[in-house]
A and B are shown apart, each in its own frame.
Chain A
Amino acid sequence: MIDEATLAQMNGQYVMPPDASPAWRAACEYGFDMSLVEESLKRTPEERLDAHQRVLDMLFELKEMGGHDAAK
């Protein structure tokens, strides 16, 4: 039987680390997805830049696709 807390996490509720700083809590309350930040902090700086590059490449592809669609 899955308890309510676990179910909430399964459904996307972020669990604040017990040692979260005030700034971390503030950023979370502001609306940043701190689970993504946690993942980012596990990566090396080079991996972070590579991940960002993939996002840019995807956005560029989407933009290009949009441009082609608009031309039709």
Chain B
Amino acid sequence: MTPQNDKALLRRLLAQNVEFVVIGGVCGILHGAELVTFDLDICCRFSRENLRRIETAVKDLNPHHRLTANKLPLELTDELCDRLKNIYLTTDLGILDCLGEVSGLGDYEQVLRRSITQQMSYGKLQILSLDALIVAKEAAGREKDLYATRLLRAIKPQN
């Protein structure tokens, strides 16, 4: 089990000017949901330039494609960048899942439009709005997502 350090991963992504929106459980936590999650999910622009920024952000963290049978190292080429739709990574700072699309919302541009800016001490994060996160969780439809949705609906103001 690799320790998960979301803050350190986020700082690295910000430092490299990666275009991304925080989604998933960490987004729910930022909104105030009492959840525990073991990965950092982001939706990002799948341009060559942006994927290279991600690679730079984690290059000294032993990044591997965590879902490949042989845990292939992250070694991007232009050709691979053009073919990838998602990148599921394990790193020395934990799991970083980079998605090109989010269920119920669409691609990065659509996700970005439904995000809000969250000021942190180490920079500005784009995170899914609470409404959009609920839509995404419901669209994902897994038991754990529906479980989280109950809590997210509760913390939504003026239900």
Contact residues of A with B, CB < 8 Å? Answer: 21-24, 26-28, 30, 32-34, 36-37, 40-41, 43, 45-46, 48-50, 52-53, 55-57, 59-60, 63-64
For B159, the chain A residues whose CB sits under 8 A away are 21-24
For A32, the chain B residues whose CB sits under 8 A away are 34, 150-151, 154
A28 to chain B, nearest CB (A): 8
Of B3-11, B53-61, B67-75, the one with at least 4 CB within 8 A of chain A: B3-11
- 25 CB < 8 A contacts A-B: A23-B153, A26-B153, A27-B151, A27-B153, A32-B34, A32-B150, A33-B34, A37-B34, A37-B151, A37-B155, A41-B32, A45-B30, A45-B118, A49-B29, A49-B120, A52-B26, A52-B29, A52-B35, A52-B37, A53-B5, A55-B36, A56-B4, A56-B36, A59-B36, A60-B1
For A41, the chain B residues whose CB sits under 8 A away are 32, 155
B6 to chain A, nearest CB (A): 6
Q: Give the CA-CA distance A18 to B151 in the complex, in Å.
A: 18
Q: Give the CA-CA distance A64 to B3 in the complex, in Å.
A: 10
Number of interface residues, chain B, beta carbon within 8 A: 28
B150 contacts A49, C-beta separation under 8 Å:
no
A37 contacts B32, C-beta separation under 8 Å:
yes
Q: Give the CA-CA distance A17 to B35 in the complex, in Å.
A: 21
Contact partner, B154, options A34, A43, A64, Cβ 8 Å: A34
For B26, the chain A residues whose CB sits under 8 A away are 49, 52
B156 contacts A23, C-beta separation under 8 Å:
yes
